């Protein structure tokens, strides 16, 4: 940086230009969360077979958690002085998770959950590195907790599939 360049700080004391870049990553993550949320919601509605009762409840538990995280991500984006995505068109374009259609059996639905969680973990680790480099402890703490919870879920859903 030369002496003529100045850093503009955001309201929360972060470099605004780097915060804007982080907000883009968080919006991409928000898109992935929204697609996974809709996938899990569909699994909850459409599950069939002898694991119906067990998985119907597990999927409700998961989509409720995902819904909370969607709201937290959007609020974090706003905290960084950016606008969260809010259209399904944007979600589909920017999500790393693909919509899953017509999954009704235990194996395909649990595999869909597992694949989505694994994708989120990769994406969140990238965002975590970016937030850490910026010194954004708020985002680091939030994403770190998400990773911890999802690693356990990956283990559990993997164990379910055998």
The string of pLDDT tens digits covering residues 122-133 is 999 999 999 999
- Whole-angstrom distance, CA of residue 46 vs CA of residue 147: 28
pTM across the whole model: 0.94
Which parts of 47-87 fold into alpha helices (H)? 52-79
Do residues 105 and 48 make contact, with C-beta atoms less than 8 angstroms apart?
A: yes
Domain membership of residue 99 (yes or no) is yes
- What is the DSSP code string of 1-56? --TT--PPB-TTSSBHHHHHHHHHHHHHHHHHHHHHHHHHHHHHHH--STTHHHHH
Residue 144 forms part of a structural domain: yes
Is residue 158 very low, low, confident or very high in pLDDT (cuts 50, 70, 90)? very high
Residue 152: count of CB within 10 angstroms of its CB = 11
35 in any annotated domain: yes
Q: How confident is the model at residue 6 (pLDDT cuts 50, 70, 90)?
A: confident
Task: Give the pair of three-digit tokens for residue 70.
Answer: 């969607």
**Count of the separate structural domains present in the chain:** 1
CA 115/CA 28 separation, integer angstroms: 17
Asked, for residue 74, whether it belongs to a domain, the answer is yes
What pLDDT, on a 0 to 100 scale, did the predictor assign at position 126? 98
Nearest-CA neighbor of 95 among 77, 66, 63, 120? 120
Q: What is the extent of the structural domain holding 104?
A: 17-161
Check which CATH number belongs to the domain holding 136 and give it: 1.20.1260.10
């Amino acid at each position: 940086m030369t002496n003529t360049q100045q850093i503009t700080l955001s309201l929360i004391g972060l470099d605004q230009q780097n915060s804007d870049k982080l907000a883009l990553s968080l919006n991409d993550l928000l898109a992935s969360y929204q697609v996974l949320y809709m996938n899990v919601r569909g699994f909850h509605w459409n599950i069939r077979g002898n694991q119906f009762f067990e998985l119907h409840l597990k999927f409700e538990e998961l989509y409720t958690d995902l819904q909370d995280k969607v709201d937290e991500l959007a609020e974090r984006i706003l905290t960084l002085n950016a606008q969260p995505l809010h259209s399904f068109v944007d979600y589909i374009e920017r999500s790393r998770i693909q919509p899953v259609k017509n999954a009704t059996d235990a194996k395909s639905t649990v595999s869909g959950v597992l694949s989505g969680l694994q994708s989120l973990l990769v994406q969140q680790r990238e965002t975590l590195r970016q937030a850490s480099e910026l010194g954004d402890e708020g985002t680091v703490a939030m994403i770190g907790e998400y990773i911890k919870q999802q690693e356990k879920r990956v283990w559990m859903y993997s164990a379910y599939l055998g």
